[in-house]
């Protein structure tokens, strides 16, 4: 559903906008109770069976957008309970980041095979004959699959000459590459936090909008209002995310209009990280360790730590581009507060790490940034081109796309160590990352540089993006081609 403006997209953006308006204004906590009525006026439901249920779901989305936990369904409490604790100009985010709103979940059935109206009740009945557990019978109108007997092998679907049998999967579970989606006692989706790596693919895959992550826009706006010196570090995938008329320069200027002192490309941090990982590969592979895994995607690294703990030491320990950029900013201005703006929600979890907290003060997505602009009445296209953006090399900007990370490191290795032999493997989506790591653990990727990306297509396919993945990739590559520097080694800011 990426790139399609659905009712779920509309509500999500309305929630971010209203929270931002609340923060920008001289708010009174009781006003929060009025926001669901503002987003969903009247008494006729628009999306579900009851307007009261719709407003209750919006209420929980508001709480998550303010960094608050979900309320218990079986206990009465005001929407604004706990707001005084989070109305502060600093981070208050606590795990779990990704949450299922229970009464928004429609308890979709888990994996099953269904017979559709395409069934012709053919004489051959091949589905009956291939079923190894005799779960299929022929009814009055169509074939019938006994869900209690079915072992979900899919042979009936494959053999049906009319394509009458389809595989049905719970969308959030199908999108989860680490099998973290389970069911509660009512059959509703529940996230196993021990398995979850906060990639956010379940959020963008749920067609009922039942899953959401916590936001930091409330605290960020209060920090901006308090007069703290804020810098924005924006991820390379930002290009094209805010409409065809919004140039990168317009985006930078609009961010400054919110009160930021300056904006820096995270592609600069990608340049720094790619040089470091090239050096690590040269020094350690294959003599000290069999291979090197890249470090830029926190969900990929978390997956390795949880699923392949004995291999985790082979993932690069160098800081991600987000952190490297923040270090650059704070070296030049020790008073700076740094806000990462990107496509990724797992960066919110990364920013909670003990060795990262001192560099990153807030993390928001492109969608959350849009909510702030709308609330502040900022129109991007009214901005004129002010300064040319030259923080990052072409390779650094290319980090946003699948193969871009490995490609940047490879370029550095070729320049720094032309005699170095190197092989590359890459995987985007956690399921493919697991396959790649299984091969690596079996010794079939020795001598390799491994690029892992949790989101399909790389960062341009992250849950906080606004554009179809392929279109976003083309925009990023075009912007990368405009950099005056080809590689990180050509970028003076990355080598200062």
Residues 120 and 249 in one domain: no
Residue 459 dihedral angles phi and psi, to the nearest 5°? -60, -25
Instruction: Provide the residue range defining the domain that includes 100.
Output: 7-105+193-219
What does the pLDDT read at residue 26?
85
pLDDT in tens, 169-226: 999 999 999 999 999 999 999 999 999 999 999 999 999 999 999 999 999 999 999 9
Residues 101 and 116 in one domain: no
Looking up tokens 């360790």, which residue turns up? Answer: 289
What does the pLDDT read at residue 385?
67
Q: What are all long-range contacts of 314-319, with beta carbons under 8 Å and residues at least 24 apart? A: 314/289, 314/290, 314/440, 316/276, 316/277, 316/280, 316/292, 318/273, 318/276, 318/277, 318/280, 319/269, 319/273, 319/295, 319/356
Residues 361 and 270 in one domain: yes
Residues 26 and 131 in one domain: no
pLDDT in tens, 108-153: 988 999 999 999 999 999 999 999 999 999 999 999 999 999 999 9
> Would you say residue 89 lies in a domain?
yes
What does the pLDDT read at residue 28?
86
> Would you say residue 186 lies in a domain?
no
Nearest to 453, CA basis, from 481, 425, 478: 425
What does the pLDDT read at residue 2?
67
| Domains of the chain: total | 3
* Sheet strands (E) in 16-175: 98-100, 112-115, 136-138, 143-145, 165-168
Percentage of the chain modeled with pLDDT above 70: 99
d(CA 266, CA 323): 9
> Would you say residue 387 lies in a domain?
yes
Nearest to 19, CA basis, from 54, 63, 52, 56: 63
What does the pLDDT read at residue 29?
85
Residues 59 and 123 in one domain: no
> Would you say residue 174 lies in a domain?
no
Is residue 128 within 8 Å of 150, Cβ to Cβ? Answer: no
Residues 371 and 467 in one domain: yes
What does the pLDDT read at residue 421?
87
Q: Is a pLDDT exceeding 90 seen at residue 30?
A: no
Q: Is a pLDDT exceeding 90 seen at residue 466?
A: no
What does the pLDDT read at residue 4?
79
Q: Is a pLDDT exceeding 90 seen at residue 165?
A: yes
What does the pLDDT read at residue 387?
77
Q: Is a pLDDT exceeding 80 seen at residue 383?
A: no
> Would you say residue 184 lies in a domain?
no
Can you count the helices (H) and strands (E) in the chain?
19, 15
Residues 36 and 134 in one domain: no
Q: What is the CATH number of the domain that holds 133?
A: 3.30.70.20
**Span of 258-267, 362-371, 460-469, 480-489 with lowest mean pLDDT:** 460-469
> Would you say residue 188 lies in a domain?
no
Residues 254 and 146 in one domain: no
> Would you say residue 334 lies in a domain?
yes
Which of 179, 202, 219 is the last residue before a domain boundary?
219
Residues 144 and 282 in one domain: no
> Would you say residue 248 lies in a domain?
yes
Other beta carbons less than 10 A from residue 433's beta carbon: 28
What does the pLDDT read at residue 148?
92
Nearest to 234, CA basis, from 451, 465, 22, 17: 465
| Mean of pLDDT over the chain | 95
Residues 210 and 294 in one domain: no
Is residue 323 within 8 Å of 360, Cβ to Cβ? Answer: yes
Is residue 320 within 8 Å of 271, Cβ to Cβ? Answer: no
Residues 241 and 158 in one domain: no
Residues 138 and 26 in one domain: no
């Amino acid at each position: 559903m990426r790139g399609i403006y659905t009712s779920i997209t509309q509500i999500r953006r309305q929630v971010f906008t209203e929270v931002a308006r609340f923060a920008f204004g001289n708010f009174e906590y009781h006003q929060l109770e009025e926001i669901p009525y503002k987003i969903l006026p009247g008494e006729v439901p628009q999306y579900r069976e009851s307007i009261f249920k719709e407003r209750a779901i919006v209420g929980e989305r508001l709480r998550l957008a303010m960094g608050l936990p979900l309320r218990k369904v079986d206990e009465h409490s005001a929407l604004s309970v706990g707001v005084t604790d989070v109305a502060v100009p600093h981070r208050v985010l606590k795990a779990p980041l990704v949450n299922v709103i229970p009464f928004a979940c429609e308890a979709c059935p888990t994996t099953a095979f269904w017979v559709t109206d395409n069934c012709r009740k053919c004489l051959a009945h091949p589905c009956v004959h291939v079923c190894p557990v005799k779960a299929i019978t022929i009814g009055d109108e169509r074939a019938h699959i006994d869900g209690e007997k079915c072992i979900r092998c899919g042979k009936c679907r494959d053999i049906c000459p009319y394509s009458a049998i389809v595989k049905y999967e719970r969308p959030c579970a199908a999108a989860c590459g680490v099998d973290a989606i389970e069911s509660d006692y009512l059959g509703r989706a529940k996230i196993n936090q021990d398995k979850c790596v906060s990639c956010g693919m379940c959020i963008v895959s749920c067609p009922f909008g039942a899953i959401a992550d916590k936001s930091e826009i409330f605290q960020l706006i209060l920090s901006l209002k308090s007069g703290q010196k804020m810098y924005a570090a924006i991820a390379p995938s930002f290009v094209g995310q805010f409409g065809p008329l919004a140039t990168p320069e317009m985006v930078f200027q609009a961010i400054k209009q919110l009160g930021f002192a300056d904006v820096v490309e995270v592609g600069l941090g990608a340049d720094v990280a790619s040089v470091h990982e090239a050096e690590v590969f040269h020094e350690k592979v294959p003599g000290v360790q069999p291979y090197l895994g890249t470090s830029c995607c926190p969900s990929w690294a978390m997956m390795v730590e949880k699923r392949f703990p004995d291999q985790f030491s082979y993932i690069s320990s160098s800081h991600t581009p987000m952190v490297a950029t923040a270090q650059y900013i704070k070296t030049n201005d020790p008073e700076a507060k740094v806000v990462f703006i990107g496509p990724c929600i797992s960066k919110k979890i990364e920013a909670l790490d003990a060795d990262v907290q001192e560099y990153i003060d807030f993390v928001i997505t492109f969608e959350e940034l849009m909510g702030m602009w709308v609330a502040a009445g900022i129109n991007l296209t009214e901005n004129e081109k002010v300064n040319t953006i030259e923080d990052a090399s072409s390779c650094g900007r290319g980090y946003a796309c699948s193969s871009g990370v490995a490609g940047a490191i490879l370029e550095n290795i070729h320049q720094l160590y032309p005699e170095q032999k190197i092989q590359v493997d890459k995987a985007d989506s956690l399921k493919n990352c697991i396959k790649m790591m299984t091969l690596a653990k079996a010794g079939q990727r020795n001598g390799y540089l491994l690029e892992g990306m949790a989101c399909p297509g790389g960062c341009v396919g992250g849950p906080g993006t606004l554009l179809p993945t392929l279109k976003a990739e083309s925009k990023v590559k075009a912007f990368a081609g405009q950099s005056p520097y080809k590689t990180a080694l050509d970028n003076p800011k990355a080598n200062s």
